């Protein structure tokens, strides 16, 4: 079978790497892919990003299954488009992807179906929003209602920061998101303002076929740029799997209180959920679990360590999940995991996250081994050179018998790699090392 992976980041490199290991897979195409997928003989990059063009290409080239990595094509309706032409694709429809693409949609959904999450209110009028934060006090969280690539959330520790965030999101609207039709038919930005939650975060991901769920291994991401969780929020600077904070009790609660009611609620609302579903969890000291956010896709960089531990053939799982009218085989799926810990360290470009500098030449990449793989994200092959072409450049991922050993191996693998301006955290996995 020929398969297509849509996207060009580290997550998509990991998907393609894993799918290429399936004996049933003849070729994996990655659209548009990156420097890492270009170098691998089992993968082929496809320079197409337009959805209708991709769909036509998939028809013409008899693609048996398409897997979508990032949220943007999902929110733009790639799944609807492929399905309308009889193509097999794994991901949520445009309507279902609103769980991620609209904070207002997902918060209202959670309220309607009693899914635990922070208390909130939605605003498009700045004056009312300012009054509301004055009443609620700080810390408080201000979120733009739309896809903003991680830049749409401000955790305001002071009222001053909350006021600035409201004006930034509602008045300046430089994020260019949240275009919902107002009363006069005009596009207006919206914000969701919510209660500040304390605790430890974890990433909880499952696969859904509209009715059934198969859970993936747990993981934890490091969102801040610098060691000790300091500095600005990023897309993620490293991750490891499993996450000890997700104890068996927390796991059971997350399934019972969040994942299963979400699947049922979506079905009840007439928008059955298919694809990966990612619940960002906040776990408090008492083991209570709340939903910070939903993503309608796998996490990046969480996918890289998770897939390094997955022993089951990913193609089989995706075929079961997209089998028309079935569900039985999918519901019975038991994923097999490597018992070791996997840990990935992101190397980012100089200037990331605000102004990543592109063009630096990357040198010293080691050969992949059974227990250490360098997944590419923002890299491009230019002649003989591998160049930096995006904010997050590489995710150096390794397996080890303990978090400490996985950490040591990942950092050893990273030692020889260099490019001008490279930034990385030196403490990925620290919460689990202590645990």
Instruction: Please report the beta strands in 178-299, taking only residues with DSSP state E, as ranges in sequence order.
Output: 180-181, 187-188, 191-195, 200-209, 213-215, 220-221, 224-226, 230-233, 238-241, 274-283, 289-295
d(CA 210, CA 271): 9
Q: Of the candidates 302, 353, 387, 409, which one interacts with ligand GLY according to CB under 6 A?
A: 302
Q: Of the candidates 12, 80, 81, 300, which one interacts with ligand GLY according to CB under 6 A?
A: 300
* 11 binds ligand AMP per the rule CB under 6 A: no
* 121 binds ligand AMP per the rule CB under 6 A: no
Closest Cα to residue 11, out of 372, 348, 287, 306? 306
- Name the residue whose CB lies closest to ligand AMP: 293
In the complex, the smallest distance separating the C-beta of residue 198 from ligand AMP, rounded to whole angstroms, is 7
Q: By CB under 6 A, which span of 60-68, 116-124, 241-249, 293-301 interacts with ligand GLY?
A: 293-301
C-beta of residue 68 within 8 angstroms of C-beta of residue 79: yes
Q: By CB under 6 A, which span of 85-93, 189-197, 398-406, 427-435 interacts with ligand AMP?
A: 189-197
C-beta of residue 200 within 8 angstroms of C-beta of residue 245: yes
In the complex, the smallest distance separating the C-beta of residue 231 from ligand GLY, rounded to whole angstroms, is 16
Q: Which two tokens stand for residue 282?
A: 């906040």
The number of residues that bind ligand GLY (CB under 6 A) is 7
304 vs 387, which CB is nearer to ligand GLY?
304
d(CA 217, CA 204): 8
179 vs 224, which CB is nearer to ligand AMP?
224
d(CA 151, CA 410): 28
In the complex, the smallest distance separating the C-beta of residue 403 from ligand AMP, rounded to whole angstroms, is 21
d(CA 166, CA 168): 5
Please list every residue from 136 through 155 that binds ligand AMP, using CB under 6 A. 141, 143, 153, 155
Q: By CB under 6 A, which span of 105-113, 195-203, 355-363, 427-435 interacts with ligand AMP?
A: 195-203
Instruction: Please report the beta strands in 60-196, taking only residues with DSSP state E, as ranges in sequence order.
Output: 65-68, 89-90, 120-123, 140-144, 153-156, 180-181, 187-188, 191-195
* 295 binds ligand GLY per the rule CB under 6 A: yes
Binding site residues, ligand GLY, CB under 6 A: 221, 235-236, 295, 299-300, 302
């Amino acid at each position: 079978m020929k398969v297509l992976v849509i996207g060009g980041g580290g997550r998509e490199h990991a998907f393609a790497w894993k799918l290429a290991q399936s004996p049933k897979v003849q070729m994996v195409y990655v659209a548009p892919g990156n420097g890492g997928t270009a170098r691998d003989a089992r993968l082929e990059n496809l320079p197409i990003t337009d959805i209708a063009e991709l769909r036509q290409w998939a028809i013409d080239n008899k693609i048996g299954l398409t897997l979508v990595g990032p949220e943007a094509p999902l929110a733009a309706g790639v799944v609807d488009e492929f399905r309308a032409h009889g193509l097999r694709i794994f991901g949520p429809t445009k309507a279902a992807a609103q769980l991620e693409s609209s904070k207002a949609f997902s918060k209202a959904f959670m309220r309607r179906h009693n899914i635990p999450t922070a208390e909130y209110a939605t605003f498009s009028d700045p004056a009312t929003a300012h009054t509301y934060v004055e009443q609620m006090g700080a810390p408080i969280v201000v979120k733009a209602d739309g896809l903003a690539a991680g830049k749409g959330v401000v955790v305001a520790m002071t009222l001053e920061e909350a006021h600035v965030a409201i004006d930034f999101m509602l008045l300046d609207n430089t994020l260019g998101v949240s275009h919902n039709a107002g009363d006069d038919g005009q596009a207006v930005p919206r914000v969701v303002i919510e209660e500040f939650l304390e605790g430890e975060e974890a990433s909880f991901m499952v696969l859904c076929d509209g009715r059934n769920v198969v859970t993936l291994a747990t993981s934890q991401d490091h969102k801040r740029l610098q060691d000790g969780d300091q500095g600005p929020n990023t897309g993620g600077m490293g991750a490891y799997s499993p996450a000890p904070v997700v104890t068996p009790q927390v796991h059971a609660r997350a399934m019972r209180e969040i994942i299963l009611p979400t699947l049922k609620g979506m079905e009840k609302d007439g928008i059955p959920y298919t694809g990966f579903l990612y619940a960002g969890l906040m776990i408090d000291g008492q083991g209570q679990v709340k939903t910070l956010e939903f993503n309608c896709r796998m996490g990046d960089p969480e996918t890289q360590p998770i897939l390094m531990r997955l022993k089951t053939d990913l193609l089989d799982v995706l075929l079961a999940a997209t089998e028309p009218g079935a569900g039985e085989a999918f519901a019975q799926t038991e994923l097999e995991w490597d018992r070791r810990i996997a840990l990935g360290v992101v190397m980012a470009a100089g200037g990331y996250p605000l102004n990543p500098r592109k063009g630096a030449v990357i040198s010293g990449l080691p050969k992949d081994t059974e227990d250490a793989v360098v997944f590419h994200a923002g890299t491009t092959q230019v002649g003989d050179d591998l160049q930096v072409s995006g904010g997050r450049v590489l995710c150096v991922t390794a397996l080890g018998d303990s978090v400490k050993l996985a950490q040591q191996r990942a950092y050893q693998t990273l030692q020889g790699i260099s490019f001008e301006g490279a930034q990385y955290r030196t403490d990925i996995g620290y919460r689990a090392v202590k645990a």
